[in-house]
Structure 1
Amino acid sequence: MSEAIEAEIIEPEEASELTVAYSPAVIEANFDALEAHVRRLVADYEGATYDMGKDENVKAAKRDRAYLNGIAKEIDERRKAVSREYTKPLAAFEDRCKAVAGIAKQAADGIKAQLDEAEEERQLRAYAKLREHYEEFAGLLAPVVPYERFHEKQWTNKTFGEVKAFKALEAKVERLAQDWETLKAQFQGEPFYDEAERELFATLDLGAAITAAHKAEEERRRIAELKAAMEPEPVEEPEP
């Protein structure tokens, strides 16, 4: 069996693109003769049956199987050896391509790091402007609810825009202010109002706040019933 492959990179003193010269490889092998030889070796074993009730037959079956597997393994090992030799030039070619391309990639990565840093700084400035606008716009809510709970990541994206981000923030603050008024109208003065208000400011969700109010009221009712059940019954004074 013989094999041949050739791959060569043409490297002039300066080149603006990769120029490659290669010859398609041809692998020749004596497959016909090898197949005839293997068929002769295997002929006596095709369709063979063994009486596995006898130990000597079990040993013979194992021995025959090992022999046949050995034939297959020998051919497969040769195949792997040829494959390794065949792919060596290609592997060397790919490694060199990656190494040379890596020079440009490394320079590009250096620029990307600067772009990423500049973008991060821009987003921090945008975030600071939004927080400042919130503190001016939110009024009484600003000391109670930190800006971080209102912020949405998309607001600092360059494509979103500062004006649109300000309007989105204002709408969110106004919605919370309306929800706050709704909550006060329903529950202010109730013993569980503070818990509902805390839930509203923590989640910015009126539904969650109302649910918290109902749970707190239910808990208060259960505790009151438990206390009432634990109080001793009054003892009647005997008549004189």
Structure 2
Amino acid sequence: MLSVQAAHAGGGGGGIVFDPTNWIQTSATAASTVKQEGIAVQNAARMAKMVIDSGKMVQGRSLGITDMTQAVQLAQQLGKLAGADDALLNAIGNKQTYINDVIALYGASKSGDFTTFVNSIGQRANLGNANAKNLLTQHDVLNAAIQVAQGKRLQIASEMGSVPGVTQAVQVATAALDTLIEQNQVQASALAAQLAAAAKREAMETASRTNADSQMADYATATRSRLRTLGITP
């Protein structure tokens, strides 16, 4: 979940390669398109307000406004969409800050490569490390916030219907956001696989250590028994 892009590594290892740079680029693109959408929404809202203030329908024809009631409704919907855009930008910004913080942690960790760093966090979380668990939980919360904000935004846009300029901007931003959310889902799946693999390795290593300890104990018991049989007290 800390990863930004997950792809299977080449060769027979079947490991997962993490590329935070790709997520940062996708996130920046999504944020930029939402901001452009915000400008289109502001322009349309300004025009709707002019119609309401002046009472003249001529100014609203470019937005498809045919009467005052429609102008008021559109202004209200545009206001809701602007609020949804702000919430979405805030959610994306929080995730960007999180990724930057994780990259800073990676730089300070001297872990070698980013995949090793992510694996180490997963392993520490599986072993009960509170900081590692919080880091993973925060990632899930931030991803969920982006999806919730996107869902609200799309609901408002669908209720608003087609508005020249605004509708096109919404479509462009939605495409970019879909890519971002898809990458977030890939992140989650990739790290879930990493965590499962880390837990499995830990379980196998524990079982191996337990088995080795048991074998050593059996060997020591057998040796003492043999020595006693020979009349030697260990």
Common fold, TM-score beyond 0.5? no
Question: Normalized against structure 1, the TM-score is what?
Answer: 0.23
Larger radius of gyration: 1
Greater helix proportion: 2
Specify which structure has the bigger relative contact order, considering alpha-carbon pairs within 8 angstroms and separated by 6 or more residues: 2
Question: Normalized against structure 2, the TM-score is what?
Answer: 0.23
